[in-house]
């Protein structure tokens, strides 16, 4: 496992050189990729040029958001597929081999069974494109009850249901283990052993406020890992270690919970919290070679 910094999971922005320097300064081993921006740079210059800062810093790529409206109607989905192949080629050339996408937790169009079959069909199409480039797709859930309000049909919004969906999907499709969603559903660390071997693509760590029933939590209450200790991060990491997971582990928190903190403080806090989580789980911390990022 390696410690990953995400601009999607935390309220971070800035030039790549600035974010890379912060990642290096505070103990991260990898960063998520903005694939659309990376492709623009590689088209304008070259893949080598677009990668130069990450390569010089010896930072790995974490994950990238799949640039496809994969649950949309056929017209939009097929339009996105027209550009996906070239985007995935660029990702593969940069050794960015982990994509993520989110499963909508409810809808008005299809009942559960029909929706399950719809998603498996879309994942088969995507899986074939991904497999030819050795890229895996991790599916993330939206677990909060607020996201299902006023929708006619509920769909996959917990880890157990996600495991069932992935078990019926293309072999290139896997799971984003999100401790926040596990906490809301009341799932314990031992559920990780039920995930098919090799199908964990990404891990997201968070914490929850004290004295709030898990099933009532809203996304705005999602805290930085280690904030309260309500979520037992160490047990999750130990369970992941036991199944041989070797991918990114990423802090996630709602931006409202970090209001008033600058970018450097947020990255330092997240790095410190990951280091504490590593120590609590008795995981080795490998000291990284450090070099300032190029400006």
User: pLDDT at residue 294 above 70?
Assistant: no
Question: How many Cα neighbours within 13 Å face the side chain of 240?
Answer: 29
> Would you say residue 289 lies in a domain?
no
Domain of residue 71 covers: 2-280
Q: Is residue 78 part of a domain?
A: yes
Q: How far apart are CA 63 and CA 96, in angstroms?
A: 7
Q: State the total domains in the chain.
A: 1
In a domain, 246, yes or no: yes
287 domain-assigned: no
293 located within any domain: no
> Does 272 score more than 90 pLDDT?
yes
Residues 194-229: tens digit of each pLDDT: 999 999 999 999 999 999 999 999 999 999 999 999
Domain membership of residue 19 (yes or no) is yes
For residue 267, which of 17, 21, 98 has the smallest C-alpha distance?
A: 21
Residue 13: is its pLDDT beyond 80?
A: yes
The answer to whether position 38 is within a domain reads: yes
Cβ–Cβ under 8 Å, residues 63 and 130: no
Cα 49 to its chain centre, rounded Å, is 26
pLDDT of residue 240: 98
Position 290 pLDDT exceeds 50? no
Cross-strand pairs, 33: 64
The predicted model scores a pTM of 0.94
Q: What is the pLDDT of residue 292?
A: 42
Q: Using pLDDT thresholds of 50, 70 and 90, give the confidence band for residue 286.
A: confident
The set of residues, in sequence order, having a beta carbon less than 8 Å from that of 270 and lying 6+ positions away, is 5, 10, 26, 224, 225, 251
Q: Which of 13-22, 115-124, 131-140, 250-259 has the lowest mean pLDDT?
A: 13-22
Residue 295 included in any domain: no
Q: What residue has token string 């290096």?
A: 24
- CATH number of the structural domain spanning residue 70: 3.20.20.150
């Amino acid at each position: 496992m390696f410690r990953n910094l995400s601009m999607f999971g935390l309220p971070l922005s800035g030039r790549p050189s600035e974010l890379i320097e912060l990642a290096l300064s505070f103990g991260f081993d990898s960063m998520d990729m903005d694939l659309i921006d990376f492709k623009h740079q590689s088209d304008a210059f070259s893949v080598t040029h677009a990668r130069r800062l990450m390569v010089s810093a010896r930072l790995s790529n974490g994950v990238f958001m799949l640039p496809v409206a994969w649950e949309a109607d056929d017209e939009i989905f097929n339009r996105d597929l027209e550009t996906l192949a070239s985007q995935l080629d660029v990702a593969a050339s940069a050794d960015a081999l982990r994509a993520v996408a989110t499963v909508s937790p409810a809808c008005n169009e299809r009942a559960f069974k029909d929706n399950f079959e719809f998603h498996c069909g879309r994942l088969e199409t995507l899986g074939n494109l991904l497999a030819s480039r050795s890229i895996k797709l991790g599916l993330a859930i939206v677990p909060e009850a607020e996201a299902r309000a006023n929708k006619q049909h509920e769909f996959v919004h917990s880890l157990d249901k996600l495991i069932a969906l992935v078990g019926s999907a293309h072999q290139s499709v896997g799971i984003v283990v999100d401790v926040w969603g596990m906490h809301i559903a009341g799932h314990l660390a031992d559920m990780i052993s039920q995930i098919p071997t090799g199908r964990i693509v990404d891990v997201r760590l968070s914490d929850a406020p004290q004295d709030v029933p898990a099933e009532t939590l809203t996304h705005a209450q999602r805290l930085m890992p280690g904030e309260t200790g309500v979520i037992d991060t160490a047990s999750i990491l130990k369970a992941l270690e036991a199944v041989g997971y070797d991918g990114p582990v990423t802090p996630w928190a709602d931006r409202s919970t970090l209001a008033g903190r600058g970018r450097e403080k947020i990255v330092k806090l997240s790095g410190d919290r990951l280091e504490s989580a590593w120590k609590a789980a008795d995981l080795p911390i490998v000291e990284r070679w450090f070099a300032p990022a190029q400006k």
